[in-house]
């Protein structure tokens, strides 16, 4: 009977605890309130085809999506940074209103919206829906931004973190790759630095050095060189098309480093000139633009031939070797002479320590088949 009472007491406690948890969690769910309103309710990011962006610096940039790829069309024609362009579109489509500040303000100057710092205008396929986002000052606490939608008078707050996404200059929106090429189609590489030229040719799935000497190349080293060229990014760009005197000033009339990627009969070339405040002047051989790149790009292209040579003496791996054959050197014996024999003294020296007390050195060679294969494969 006593055990039954204990069980019932525990059951009552569990029921009470469960009821408490249920009511507390349901209250918290109610306290979350309604979901925040999106600034632009009918915009689908993948349907936006055109962007016009004014940054806080005054840059005005127009981008259009053609064939699924964003391109800059104003103030220049250039490839766009796909991640940055897409981020702007997603920000416009997803931005939520934190709070309505004033439905009908008398003067928007106090919010910095009389002359908005940032403007983003977008157009979707077919011309609709479209809209414009105007961004003014930060709030006093700095956590939000004053904003307006289209031509509405209403002033709202949006999250401050959106500024870094929306506030993009023309250069920010450019594709900053120094040179573009399809890595899968690369058949050769040529680098000239400080008057010395290195050439590499693809041989099946491996790389071979063809200049200044014919030798096996280290696969990882050559692939690293190609990767460095592929990942090189411009730090700044010199406005305008350079004249011959400009090229001389930038050290690009006689480049200190040139690197060419061969893609069959085609080539992609990078030229590096003199030093600038931002790094090194550079140029893509297929474009007139002069840009700057980090100093490390030049340093990485100035490696010596030995840095690219394969260091292994034998071109195999222990795990795929099936046979090891060792042929000792043969000594020829003339007719009428006898093969020299090992004297007792020499035998004693081989078996016993030398006069200095140290044993004669034993060659560090393996004695078993698998050990021999591993030892030979690791020779460099």
Each residue's pLDDT tens digit, 83-111: 999 999 999 999 999 999 999 998 899 99
* Residue length of the chain: 380
pTM value is: 0.70
What is the pLDDT at residue 352? Answer: 45
How many whole angstroms separate alpha carbon 190 and alpha carbon 180?
Answer: 16
- Is the separation of the CB atoms in 120 and 166 below 8 Å? yes
Tell me which residue of 290, 202, 215 sits closest to 248, measured CA to CA: 290
Low-confidence ranges of the chain (pLDDT < 70): 1-5, 8-12, 14, 18-35, 127, 313-320, 331-380
| CB burial readout 77-93, b (16+ within 10 A) else e | ebebbeebbbebbebbb
How many whole angstroms separate alpha carbon 267 and alpha carbon 286?
Answer: 9
Tell me which residue of 235, 246, 227, 220 sits closest to 186, measured CA to CA: 227
What is the pLDDT at residue 315? Answer: 65
Place of tokens 């590489």: 189
Query: Could you give phi then psi for residue 93, rounded to 5 degrees?
Result: -70, -30
What is the pLDDT at residue 78? Answer: 93
Alpha carbon 379 to its chain centroid, in Å, reads: 35
What is the pLDDT at residue 329? Answer: 73
């Amino acid at each position: 009977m006593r055990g039954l009472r204990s069980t019932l007491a525990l059951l009552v406690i569990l029921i009470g605890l469960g009821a408490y948890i249920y009511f507390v969690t349901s209250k918290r769910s109610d306290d979350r309130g309604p979901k925040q309103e999106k600034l632009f309710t009918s915009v689908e990011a993948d349907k936006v085809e055109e962007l016009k962006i004014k940054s806080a610096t005054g840059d005005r940039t127009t981008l259009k999506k053609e064939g699924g790829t964003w391109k800059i069309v104003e103030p220049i024609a250039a490839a766009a940074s796909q991640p940055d362009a897409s981020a702007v579109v997603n920000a416009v489509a997803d931005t939520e209103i934190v709070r309505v500040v004033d439905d009908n303000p008398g003067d928007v100057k106090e919010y910095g919206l009389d002359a908005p710092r940032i403007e983003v205008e977008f157009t979707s396929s077919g011309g609709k829906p479209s809209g414009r986002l105007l961004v003014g000052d930060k709030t006093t606490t700095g956590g939000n931004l004053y904003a307006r939608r289209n031509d509405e008078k209403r002033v709202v707050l949006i999250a401050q973190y959106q500024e870094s996404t929306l506030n993009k200059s023309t250069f920010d929106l450019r594709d900053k790759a120094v040179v573009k090429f399809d890595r899968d189609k690369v058949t050769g590489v040529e680098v000239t630095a400080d008057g010395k030229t290195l050439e590499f040719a693809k041989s099946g799935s491996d790389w071979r050095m063809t200049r200044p000497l014919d030798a096996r190349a280290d696969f990882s080293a050559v692939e690293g060189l190609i990767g460095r060229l592929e990942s090189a990014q411009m730090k700044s760009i010199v406005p305008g098309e350079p004249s011959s005197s400009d090229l001389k000033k930038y050290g690009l009339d006689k480049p200190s480093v040139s690197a060419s990627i061969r893609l069959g009969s085609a080539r992609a070339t990078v030229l590096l000139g003199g030093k600038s405040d931002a790094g090194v002047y550079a140029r893509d051989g297929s474009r007139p633009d002069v840009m700057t790149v980090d100093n490390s790009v030049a340093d990485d292209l100035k490696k010596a031939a030995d840095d690219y040579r394969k260091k292994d003496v034998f071109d195999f791996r222990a795990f795929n070797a099936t046979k090891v054959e060792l042929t000792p050197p043969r000594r020829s014996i003339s007719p009428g002479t006898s093969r020299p024999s090992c004297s007792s003294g020499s035998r004693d020296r081989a078996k016993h320590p030398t006069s200095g007390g140290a044993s004669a050195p034993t060659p560090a060679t393996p004695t078993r088949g698998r050990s021999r294969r591993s030892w030979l494969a690791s020779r460099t």
